[in-house]
Amino acid sequence: MNTEFRKKAKSDFESNFYKIMNNLVFGKTMENLRNRIDVKIFRSWETDKICCLVASPSFARYEIFENDLGGIHMHKSNPY
């Protein structure tokens, strides 16, 4: 459908727009969902949230970026 719009485009902007839309659709279909990761960002004053995430069975590891900012890497949960 975007290919037809691209053929009928009247300006370079429209042509480039539909070209990018086609590339986006192709890229999303070729994307490997297994390579995605789940990262939760936390601040030091959110201790209740951190405790719950660390106690979760899907907890993998944590990383501290700055004094009051960090991230928790979680294993992906099975949606099925």
> What is the tens place of the pLDDT at every residue in 11-55?
999 999 989 988 988 888 888 878 888 898 888 776 788 888 889
Give residue 28's pLDDT: 84
Give residue 13's pLDDT: 93
Q: What distance in Å separates the CA atoms of residue 1 and residue 54, rounded to the nearest whole number?
A: 47
Q: Which domain holds residue 4?
A: 1-31
What's the number of domains the chain is made of? 2
Residues 50, 66 within the same domain: yes
Q: Phi/psi zone of residue 56: left (φ > 0), alpha (ψ -120 to 50 degrees), beta?
A: beta
User: In 3D, which of 42, 47, 77 has the Cα closest to residue 60?
Assistant: 77
Residues 21, 40 within the same domain: no
The pTM assigned to this predicted structure is 0.54
Give residue 79's pLDDT: 62
Residues 38, 70 within the same domain: yes
Residues 38, 56 within the same domain: yes
Q: Which amino acid is at 20?
A: I
